């Protein structure tokens, strides 16, 4: 059977690679692949000295590596991460489960199937961790053993959970031992980390912080918890072949034990693996077609009733409003992780506060800075992530084209929906930041109002221009922008993303020229008379020029949408 599995896996790999190579005949994929390779060479090529980076990687690996692996394992055992250990794709469910294969054969197949990806990851990590002194083939081998053991450990967690689900109360008892063990280990680490946070603040310098953290993690409790993970990491962090040999042998023993564990565990994993596979297939399709927002929608809790729309929809009125309403509703129902977002913001604010004691103004100013950072990031990357516009709707072109909606109105509604989805939270964060700065005494209430009013005027225009650029690229070069369920992968996907990002920046720079010129023409002469008072007039002129650009671009996009041939663009077959 192993031979058959090997044939299946090698043939799948070969077909995948040959399909990607065949795509290189098309210049757009060839150029994208070339850009991807250049990017890869630039990032991992010889632009940094080996020695410097090698030492850094060893330090990071020794201190943070075991901790990260322990937290990862805790996630698998305690917080549902085990579900990703054994996943059967819909095709595997239909082909493998009805076949005369034992459970251990299916598990062996999944382990074998994972090896090319694990080897690729190990190769990638070997490139990144150059200069540790250990010859690269030994480092590659060590990292592969580490990844393979982790993979099998996750499968083991998955099987133990499946067995618990299968055996009811008896299963819960079986399940209790590893869960309690990992729970205790996790608590030990968390207690150490909480203690470390207080000490880190007092440490003063980075090296003192590192030493303090290392000291805390080498205390009895954390040391025992982290010991198995250190065994796995040790060969990869060895600095010479002689220092590598014994730790590598130990790591191999751990790997073999894991293999025997998973192969001999007879748990009915099929149902959960198939279910997880279906979920994953839906998520992948969601990510490919709609980005982060669609991912959120796909991950929603299906047992909950869908929320009522925020916006009303009357049966009569401008029909393009229905498109706007639909896309806003999409954002509303995709925005699932408000708590997660708030958690990240609080965490980041906390992290910043650790090093931000000298910023003046205390915590409000620190969080205010953080808010400004979030607004800047949302302005820069938001238009790439928020895709409730043509990038999402072009998949429905077969439906949209039959609607009696003027093309320019449709485009305007699409752009307006994405702009609103981006601008409203941005203004919320900007508002919090402005209030916090005001409360920290950075400026008065009047200035705060002026600043917020400025944000209300400027952000929608900037966002709309950015969103228009994304939609323009989607219409002009649908193959370059992720639409529908295209399966760009590997170097060409990296290259495509790079090209789209560079194209976006260049177009935004070009589009910024008319507003800047308009602002300068109005503001410069006025400044000679009223000084700084000319700034609002200049900004207003720039905004008007930007708004005019938006109108012209929407009209142009409408014509482009009309002319787009869905078959030639690959939107329809």
Please pick, from the candidates 25, 302, 304, 339, the single residue that binds other proteins as defined by CB under 8 A. 302
Give the per-residue contact string, 206-235, with other proteins (x = CB under 8 A; - = no).
Answer: ------------------------------
CA distance linking residue 544 with residue 516, whole number of Å = 11
CA distance linking residue 546 with residue 565, whole number of Å = 30
Nearest alpha carbon to residue 335 among 421, 458, 242:
421
Token representation of residue 190 = 């968390």
CB of 539: closest distance to other proteins in angstroms? 37
138 HSE (CA, 13 A, CB side): 21
Q: Which stretch binds other proteins (CB under 8 A): 311-319, 425-433, 449-457, 492-500?
A: 311-319
CB of 500: closest distance to other proteins in angstroms? 24
Q: Which is nearer to other proteins, 287 or 457 (CB)?
A: 287
Total of chain residues touching other proteins, rule CB under 8 A:
36
Residue with tokens 């020695």: 51
CB of 284: closest distance to other proteins in angstroms? 15
Please pick, from the candidates 80, 90, 215, 309, the single residue that binds other proteins as defined by CB under 8 A. 309
Instruction: Quickly count: other Cβ atoms within 10 Å of residue 350's Cβ.
Output: 14
Helix ranges, 265-395 (H): 270-298, 320-334, 338-355, 362-385, 390-393
Q: Which is nearer to other proteins, 165 or 409 (CB)?
A: 409
Residue with tokens 């917080």: 79
CB of 292: closest distance to other proteins in angstroms? 14
Give the per-residue contact string, 263-282, with other proteins (x = CB under 8 A; - = no).
Answer: -------------------x
CB of 406: closest distance to other proteins in angstroms? 7
Give the per-residue contact string, 382-411, with other proteins (x = CB under 8 A; - = no).
Answer: --------------xxxx-xxxxxx-----
Q: Which is nearer to other proteins, 198 or 567 (CB)?
A: 567
Give, as ranges, the residues between 314 and 333 that touch other proteins (CB under 8 A): 314-317, 319, 321-322, 325-326, 329-330, 333
Token representation of residue 194 = 């909480």
Find out whether 522 and 537 touch, Cβ atoms under 8 Å: yes
80 binds other proteins, rule: CB under 8 A: no
Q: Which is nearer to other proteins, 27 or 315 (CB)?
A: 315
303 binds other proteins, rule: CB under 8 A: no
- Please list, in sequence order, all residues whose beta carbon lies within 8 angstroms of the beta carbon of residue 369, skipping any fewer than 6 positions away: 352, 356, 359, 433
Q: Which is nearer to other proteins, 403 or 443 (CB)?
A: 403
CB of 420: closest distance to other proteins in angstroms? 16
Q: Which is nearer to other proteins, 321 or 556 (CB)?
A: 321
313 binds other proteins, rule: CB under 8 A: yes
Give φ, ψ of 239 to 5 degrees.
-105, -5
CA distance linking residue 126 with residue 144, whole number of Å = 10
Please pick, from the candidates 38, 283, 547, 572, the single residue that binds other proteins as defined by CB under 8 A. 572
86 binds other proteins, rule: CB under 8 A: no
Residue with tokens 């409408």: 558
Find out whether 31 and 500 touch, Cβ atoms under 8 Å: no
Q: Which is nearer to other proteins, 442 or 479 (CB)?
A: 479
Please pick, from the candidates 306, 351, 376, 552, the single residue that binds other proteins as defined by CB under 8 A. 306
DSSP state of 395: G
Torsion sign (Cα): 165, 168, 171, 176: positive
Q: Which is nearer to other proteins, 98 or 404 (CB)?
A: 404
DSSP state of 81: G
Instruction: Quickly count: other Cβ atoms within 10 Å of residue 549's Cβ.
Output: 20
Q: Which is nearer to other proteins, 516 or 572 (CB)?
A: 572
288 binds other proteins, rule: CB under 8 A: no
Nearest alpha carbon to residue 182 among 190, 192, 170:
190
Find out whether 498 and 36 touch, Cβ atoms under 8 Å: yes
Dmax (CA) for the chain in angstroms is 88
Nearest alpha carbon to residue 189 among 78, 80, 57, 66:
66
Q: Which is nearer to other proteins, 169 or 305 (CB)?
A: 305
566 binds other proteins, rule: CB under 8 A: yes
CB of 424: closest distance to other proteins in angstroms? 18
75 binds other proteins, rule: CB under 8 A: no
Find out whether 131 and 52 touch, Cβ atoms under 8 Å: yes
Token representation of residue 90 = 């819909």
Q: Which is nearer to other proteins, 190 or 306 (CB)?
A: 306
DSSP state of 100: S
418 binds other proteins, rule: CB under 8 A: no
Query: Reduced to 3 states, what is the DSSP secondary structure of residue 15?
Result: helix
Q: Which is nearer to other proteins, 212 or 406 (CB)?
A: 406
CA distance linking residue 30 with residue 532, whole number of Å = 52
474 binds other proteins, rule: CB under 8 A: no
Q: Which is nearer to other proteins, 9 or 281 (CB)?
A: 281
Q: Which is nearer to other proteins, 258 or 326 (CB)?
A: 326
174 binds other proteins, rule: CB under 8 A: no
CB of 398: closest distance to other proteins in angstroms? 6
Token representation of residue 485 = 């369920």
311 binds other proteins, rule: CB under 8 A: no
Q: Which is nearer to other proteins, 358 or 565 (CB)?
A: 565
Give the end-to-end CA distance of the chain in Å, rounded to a whole number.
Answer: 39
CA distance linking residue 150 with residue 156, whole number of Å = 10
367 HSE (CA, 13 A, CB side): 19
Residue 33: alpha-carbon gap to chain centroid: 21
CA distance linking residue 13 with residue 268, whole number of Å = 28
CB of 416: closest distance to other proteins in angstroms? 16
Instruction: Quickly count: other Cβ atoms within 10 Å of residue 61's Cβ.
Output: 18
CB of 560: closest distance to other proteins in angstroms? 14
CB of 97: closest distance to other proteins in angstroms? 22
Contact residues for other proteins (CB under 8 A)? Answer: 282, 294, 297, 302, 305-306, 309, 313-317, 319, 321-322, 325-326, 329-330, 333-334, 396-399, 401-406, 565-568, 572
């Amino acid at each position: 059977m192993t031979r058959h599995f090997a044939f299946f896996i090698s043939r799948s790999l070969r077909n995948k690679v040959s399909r990607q190579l065949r795509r290189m005949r098309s210049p757009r994929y060839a150029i994208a692949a070339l850009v991807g390779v250049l990017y890869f060479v630039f990032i991992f090529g010889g632009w940094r000295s080996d020695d410097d980076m090698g030492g850094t990687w060893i330090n990071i690996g020794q201190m943070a590596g075991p901790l990260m692996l322990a937290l990862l394992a805790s996630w698998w055992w305690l917080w549902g991460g085990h579900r990703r250990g054994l996943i059967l794709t819909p095709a595997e469910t239909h082909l493998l489960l009805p076949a005369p294969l034992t459970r251990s054969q299916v598990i062996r197949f999944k382990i074998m199937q994972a090896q090319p990806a694990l080897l690729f990851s190990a190769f990638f990590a070997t490139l990144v961790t150059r200069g540790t002194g250990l010859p690269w083939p030994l480092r590659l081998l060590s990292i592969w053993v580490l990844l393979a053991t982790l993979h099998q450990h996750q499968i083991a967690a998955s099987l133990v959970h499946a067995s618990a689900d299968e055996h009811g109360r008896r299963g819960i008892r079986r399940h209790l031992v590893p869960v309690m063990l990992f729970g205790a280990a996790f608590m030990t680490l968390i207690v150490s980390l909480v203690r470390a946070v207080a000490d880190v603040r007092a440490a003063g310098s980075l090296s003192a912080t590192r030493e303090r953290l290392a000291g805390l993690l080498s205390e009895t409790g954390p040391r025992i918890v982290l010991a198995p993970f250190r065994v796995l990491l040790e060969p990869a962090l060895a600095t010479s072949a002689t220092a590598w040999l014994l730790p590598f042998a130990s790591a191999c023993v751990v790997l073999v034990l894991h293999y025997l564990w998973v192969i001999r565990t007879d748990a009915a994993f099929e149902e959960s693996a198939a279910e997880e596979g279906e979920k994953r297939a839906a998520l992948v399709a969601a990510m490919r077609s709609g980005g982060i927002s669609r991912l959120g929608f796909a991950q929603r809790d299906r047992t909950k009733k869908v929320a009522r729309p925020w916006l009303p929809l009357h049966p009569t009125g401008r029909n393009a409003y229905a498109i706007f309403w639909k896309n806003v509703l999409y954002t509303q129902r995709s925005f699932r992780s408000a708590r997660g977002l708030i958690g990240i913001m609080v965490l980041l604010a906390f992290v910043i506060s650790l090093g931000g004691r000298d910023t003046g103004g205390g915590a409000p100013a620190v969080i205010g800075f953080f808010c400004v950072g979030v607004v800047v990031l949302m302005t820069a990357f938001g238009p790439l992530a928020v895709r409730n516009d043509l990038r999402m709707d072009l998949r429905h072109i077969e439906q949209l084209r039959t609607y009696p909606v003027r093309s320019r109105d449709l485009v305007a509604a699409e752009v307006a929906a994405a702009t609103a989805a981006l601008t409203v939270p941005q203004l919320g964060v900007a508002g919090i930041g402005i209030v916090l700065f005001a409360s920290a005494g950075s400026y008065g209430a009047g200035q705060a109002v002026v600043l917020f009013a400025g944000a209300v005027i400027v952000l929608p225009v900037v966002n709309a221009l950015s969103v228009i650029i994304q939609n323009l690229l989607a219409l002009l070069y649908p193959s370059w922008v992720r639409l529908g369920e295209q399966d760009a992968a590997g170097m060409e996907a990296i290259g495509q993303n790079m090209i789209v990002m560079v194209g976006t920046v260049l177009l935004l720079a070009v589009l910024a020229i008319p507003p800047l010129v308009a602002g300068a023409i109005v503001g410069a002469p006025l400044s000679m008379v009223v000084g700084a008072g000319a700034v609002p007039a200049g900004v207003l002129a720039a905004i008007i020029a930007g708004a005019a650009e938006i109108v012209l671009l929407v009209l142009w996009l409408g014509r482009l949408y009309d002319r787009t041939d869905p078959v030639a663009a690959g939107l329809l077959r």
